């Protein structure tokens, strides 16, 4: 039995972080944050943390593991207060240490500041140089950012944050708290999502709308790119906004990163994926008996391909739903000890069929090669691969953990050469214009850098990662 899921997790562009914040006196804010983080688990599966303020102190519980493994009734009951900040972490290689787990807390002279970050600060090195030798406890760019804000001379936290943002370069969707106020702020490019919801008359902030749905909150609006928001007993206030001419929302959120039931920029992610399958069916038609998805990321797109082509959608891989979630760790040797989720290919259905396999993306190509090999062993007559995004040719510097450029199979190979490696009968990718059309966004409001190489800001291609580890 071939472990598709484990292999796919190893190869995929890694989910980044999930953040959540709530200001709700009288509510069990720790428990609500727990449920929200659980629904954002797909954005980070290596560590989780919740910080709660009671007005005098900020208390935290942070550990390596999934949300359900880190928190329980007993430890959540210790987090009493009216405001919480939560974080799910996906770390980059080697950075999965306890001190890097968020929220990062900075405390000094009676002041405390908790920060949960989704993104990557491209100029963390420059910012660290300005900290004048301040001792740091972690290797995370988030701590550098938090210290930069903490050490500013302005009188209010809102001013400190707003004036700091003009020094920050890169991707950040952040939820933070002082002892009495919750803050949410987003980079002026708007790379990563950040939404505002309302729950029982109070405000919540979440990476994706699926978290709002889970806790019963109503979606109000997104935190605008460049906006700094404060939430306290006076209600929700926009402290200020850094303006930029153009936003650069991450196109890959629609392809793979976000949950299909989340709404991003007024479109349901599932529908974007379905449309991308429909468009691909028109761009790259082929005669076949069955359209199948690699569970679960290719499912919405495979449905779209099937509907547009008239070729029936079917399942050939059965997932064992009673095996617990695999613990995802950046270290290879730890990964291999993780609990494996199994998928069993149904030979009886595959045998003698011409099969269209739909997936969201190809990163290194090794997983797809294994899948093709297994389907051939099961007797597939033809295997046509249809990928619902363009070739990933360039690394991401804005909060998604991509391999170095040379490890991306499309960085130096043509589609024909990629297929020679994978071994399918045909391989076709969705065009960039097709994907943008599926997203229903204007092309000049999107970051497409990992597909096009057109980065919205200057990046140092000589090293893939910052000296500082990305938050996620």
Residue among 29 and 459 whose Cβ is closer to ligand SF4:
459
Question: How far is it, in rounded angstroms, from Cα 278 to Cα 178?
Answer: 47
What's the min distance (Å) between Cβ of 27 and ligand SF4? 34
Residue range at the interface with ligand SF4 (CB under 6 A); choices 132-140, 158-166, 229-237, 247-255: 247-255
Residue with tokens 């900040």: 85
Dist CA 361 CA 306 (whole Å): 18
Distance CA 213, CA 369 (A): 37
Minimal distance, residue 462 CB to ligand SF4, in Å: 17
CA distance linking residue 335 with residue 437, whole number of Å: 37
Contact by Cβ (8 Å): 36, 136: no
x-or-dash pattern for ligand SF4, window 170-209, by CB under 6 A?
Answer: ---------------------x------------------
Name the pairing type of β-strands 343-345 and 317-319.
antiparallel
Query: Tokens representing 402?
Result: 């991509």
Q: What angle in degrees, to the nearest 10, is found between the helix axes of 366-377 and 4-11?
A: 160
| Closest CB to ligand SF4 among residues 287, 454 | 454
Catalytic annotation, pick one of 17, 210, 250, 447: 17
Binding-residue pattern over the window 316 to 355 for ligand SF4, x denoting contact by CB under 6 A? ----------------------------------------
Distance CA 109, CA 104 (A): 17
Known catalytic residue at 17: yes
Q: Which stretch binds ligand SF4 (CB under 6 A): 45-53, 81-89, 417-425, 447-455?
A: 447-455
Contact segment (CB under 6 A) with ligand SF4 among 147-155, 244-252, 286-294, 348-356 equals 244-252
Q: Which stretch binds ligand SF4 (CB under 6 A): 223-231, 317-325, 353-361, 444-452?
A: 444-452
- What is the DSSP code (8-state) at residue 257? I
Which of 449, 459, 471, 472 lies at the binding interface for ligand SF4 (CB under 6 A)?
449
Distances 159 to 182, 230, 467 between C-alpha atoms, Å:
14, 11, 28
CB 21 within 8 A of CB 204: yes
Q: At what angle do helices 141-150 and 157-165 cross, to 10 degrees?
A: 130
Nearer residue to ligand SF4 within complex by CB, 241 or 405:
405
* DSSP-derived secondary structure for 45-111: -SEEEEEEE-SS-EEEEEEES-HHHH--HHHHHT--SSEEEEEEE-PPTT---GGGPSSEEEEETTE
Nearer to ligand SF4 among residue 131 and residue 432 (C-beta): 432
With CB under 6 A as the contact rule, which of the stretches 110-118, 248-256, 308-316, 332-340 interacts with ligand SF4?
Answer: 248-256
- Is 250 a binding residue for ligand SF4 by CB under 6 A? The answer is yes
Shortest approach of ligand SF4 to residue 431 CB, angstroms? 15
Instruction: Report the alpha-carbon distance of residue 255 to residue 262 in Å, rounded.
Output: 12
Question: Counting contacts by CB under 6 A, is residue 438 touching ligand SF4?
Answer: no
Q: What secondary structure letter does DSSP report for 213?
A: H
The helix/strand/coil state of 20 is: strand
Could you say which residues in the range 252-311 bind ligand SF4, by CB under 6 A? 252
Q: How far is the CB of 424 from ligand SF4 (least distance, A)?
A: 25
- Please state, in angstroms and rounded to a whole number, the distance separating the CA atoms of residues 301 and 304: 5
* 16, 328 contact by CB (below 8 A): no
Residue among 91, 74, 73 nearest 35 (CA): 73
The number of residues that bind ligand SF4 (CB under 6 A) is 11
Give the integer Cα–Cα distance in Å for 297 and 372.
Answer: 17
Q: Is residue 374 a contact residue for ligand SF4 (CB under 6 A)?
A: no
Q: Exactly one of 17, 116, 363, 450 binds ligand SF4 (CB under 6 A); which one?
A: 450
Nearer of residues 175 and 396 to ligand SF4, judged by Cβ: 396
**Interface stretch with ligand SF4, choices 146-154, 361-369, 383-391, 443-451 (CB under 6 A):** 443-451
Do residues 200 and 162 touch, judged by C-beta distance below 8 A? Answer: no
> Does residue number 447 form part of the binding site for ligand SF4 (CB under 6 A)?
yes
Residue 12 found at the interface with ligand SF4 (CB under 6 A):
no
| One of 173, 209, 448, 470 touching ligand SF4 (CB under 6 A) | 448
Query: Which residues in 382-421 contact ligand SF4 (CB under 6 A)?
Result: 396, 398, 400
Question: Interface mask (CB under 6 A) for ligand SF4, residues 136-175, using x and -?
Answer: ----------------------------------------
CA distances from 438 to 12, 271, 318, 418 (A): 21, 8, 29, 25
Nearer to ligand SF4, 120 or 181 (CB): 120
Q: Which residues are catalytic?
A: 17
Contacting residues toward ligand SF4, per CB under 6 A: 191, 250-252, 396, 398, 400, 447-450
């Amino acid at each position: 039995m071939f472990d598709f899921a484990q292999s796919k997790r190893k190869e995929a562009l890694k989910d980044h972080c999930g953040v959540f914040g709530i200001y709700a006196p009288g509510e069990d804010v720790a428990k609500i944050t727990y449920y929200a983080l659980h629904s954002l688990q797909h954005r980070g599966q290596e560590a989780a943390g919740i910080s709660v303020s009671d007005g005098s102190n900020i208390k935290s519980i942070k550990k390596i593991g999934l949300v359900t493994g880190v928190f329980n009734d007993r430890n959540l009951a210790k987090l009493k207060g009216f405001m919480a900040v939560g974080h799910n972490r996906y770390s980059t290689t080697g950075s999965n240490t306890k001190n890097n787990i968020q929220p990062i807390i900075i405390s000094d002279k009676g002041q405390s500041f908790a920060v949960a970050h989704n993104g990557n600060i491209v100029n963390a090195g420059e910012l660290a140089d300005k900290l004048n030798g301040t001792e740091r406890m972690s290797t995370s760019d988030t701590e550098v950012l938090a210290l930069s804000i903490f050490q500013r001379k302005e009188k209010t936290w809102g001013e400190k944050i707003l004036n700091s943002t003009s020094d920050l370069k890169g991707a950040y969707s952040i939820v933070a708290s002082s002892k009495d106020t919750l803050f949410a702020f987003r980079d002026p490019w708007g790379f990563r999502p950040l939404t505002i919801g309302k729950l029982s008359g109070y405000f919540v902030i979440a990476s994706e709308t699926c978290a709002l749905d889970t806790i019963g909150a109503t979606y109000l609006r997104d935190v605008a790119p460049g906006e700094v928001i404060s939430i306290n007993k006076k209600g929700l206030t926009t402290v200020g906004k850094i303006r930029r001419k153009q936003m650069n929302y991450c196109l890959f959120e629609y392809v793979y990163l976000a949950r299909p039931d989340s709404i991003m920029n007024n479109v349901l992610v599932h529908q974007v994926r379905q449309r991308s399958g429909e468009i691909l069916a028109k761009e790259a038609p082929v005669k076949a008996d069955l359209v199948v998805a690699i569970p679960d990321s290719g499912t919405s797109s495979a449905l779209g391909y099937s509907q547009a082509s008239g070729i029936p959608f079917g399942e050939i891989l059965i997932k064992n739903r009673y095996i617990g979630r695999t613990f995802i760790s950046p270290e290879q040797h730890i990964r291999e000890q993780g609990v494996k989720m199994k998928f069993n290919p149904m030979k009886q259905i595959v045998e003698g069929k011409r099969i269209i396999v739909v997936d969201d993306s190809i990163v290194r190509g090794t997983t797809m090669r294994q899948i093709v090999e297994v389907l051939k062993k099961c007797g597939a007559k033809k295997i046509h691969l249809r990928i619902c995004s363009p070739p990933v040719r360039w690394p991401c510097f804005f909060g998604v953990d991509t391999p170095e450029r040379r490890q991306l199979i499309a960085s130096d190979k043509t589609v024909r050469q990629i297929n020679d490696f994978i071994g399918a009968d045909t391989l076709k990718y969705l065009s960039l214009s097709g994907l943008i059309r599926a997203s229903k966004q204007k092309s000049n409001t999107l970051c497409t850098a990992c597909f096009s190489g057109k980065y919205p800001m200057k990046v140092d291609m000589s090293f893939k990662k910052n000296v500082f580890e990305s938050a996620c």
